[in-house]
Amino acid sequence: MNEAKSIAADHATGADSHRPFYRRIPRSLQPTGRLVAGVLFTFAVAAAGTALAELPGLSRLGPMVLAILLAVIYRQVAGYPVFLVSGIQFSSKVLLRLAIILYGFRVNIAMIAHQGWHMILQDLASVVLAIALTALFARWFRADGRLSFLLGVGTGVCGAAAIAAVAPLLKSRDEDTAAGVGLVALIGTVFTIAYTVIRPWLPISDLQFGLWAGSSLHEIAHVAAAAAPAGQGALAEAILAKLGRVALLVPLSLVLLGWLSRRGRSTDRAAFTFPWFLLGFVATSVITTYAPLTPAFLNAVSAVASWLLTAAMVGLGLNVELRQLLGRAARPLGAMLMASVVLSLVAYWLTVL
């Protein structure tokens, strides 16, 4: 917290001992130059993470996790790039919210509703169970409550996008948000591999396997990777089940906002603000449901959303002080891991029923 204040103070006063290439920029243009340079810096790290994700063995981690890791490593080795703070914060806040809005184009409400109440109820059970179990195990392990809650939301809803959407409501630290995204992606990758390995020995159909994967795995990418080997039918079933969980992001956020507002009435009424970007998420979901959008357009928007979210995670990753985080992350990770195991078993049972 003190470091964040010093960064903001340094930016506000114009103090800059780290900017040799800014000395040639007129002083009146420095704020704009820093903003653009900071955004480009996050783009560069995001591009490096995307390139690494193409390498054998790293592809399962994905561009987002690799970009976060690069940002964390940069912070530990070179320190926080103070002279780019305005652009980095723009990426981690404004671009993050824009990515969430664009993420709504993935959610076709009509297709989800067409699958029937059994899938919607199973998705709802998965979200509630993941959050409740993570909170319960976190209490048993005496883990950090806020980070554990982020991990529960990421496990239950849709990984990084859900964590990014809920973190502003909780006033979470950027380092917790980045850690939550990384840990959920890591555990999700492990579970994806496990699902793929055990599928041939499970006494369920391919469509049932798709429903199980979609109602229990962490990210959309994890769901697709696990279900694809079972065939196109299983993949379609898995994606629809997963999108049902994504669609629950808005009602979950509103319930959380109301609960936090009620808790905060006696202490700080101004502490909670309505997350307007969630309305954008709803709007894009409605558009993709009822407007005649082409697959090419939807694929392009999805790619842009993933890119912006990756760049935003770079900004969050730069705030991670690794030595401080490691001491707090082990217990929340254990809580999330146990919750994920129980969620998988319950989701399997519900699928068979």
Show the domain range for 124: 108-308+323-352
| Amino acid, single-letter form, for residue 333 | L
Structural domain includes residue 267 = yes
Structural domain includes residue 42 = no
Structural domain includes residue 318 = no
Total residues found in the chain within this entry: 353
| Amino acid, single-letter form, for residue 279 | L
Structural domain includes residue 149 = yes
Structural domain includes residue 132 = yes
Give me the tens of pLDDT residue by residue for the chain, a chain 353 residues long: 444 444 444 444 444 434 444 344 444 447 778 888 899 999 999 999 999 988 887 776 778 878 888 988 898 888 888 888 889 889 888 888 898 888 888 888 888 777 777 788 888 999 999 999 999 999 999 998 889 999 999 999 988 888 888 888 888 888 888 888 888 888 888 898 899 889 889 999 998 999 999 999 988 878 887 888 888 888 888 888 888 898 888 889 888 888 877 776 434 444 445 667 778 888 998 999 898 889 899 999 988 988 998 898 888 788 777 776 677 788 999 999 999 999 999 999 999 87
Angle between helices 145-156 and 117-141 (to 10 degrees): 160
Compute φ and ψ for 21, nearest 5 degrees.
Answer: -85, 0
Number of domains in the chain: 1
| Amino acid, single-letter form, for residue 46 | A
Structural domain includes residue 332 = yes
Structural domain includes residue 172 = yes
* Structural tokens at position 326: 């490691």
Structural domain includes residue 43 = no
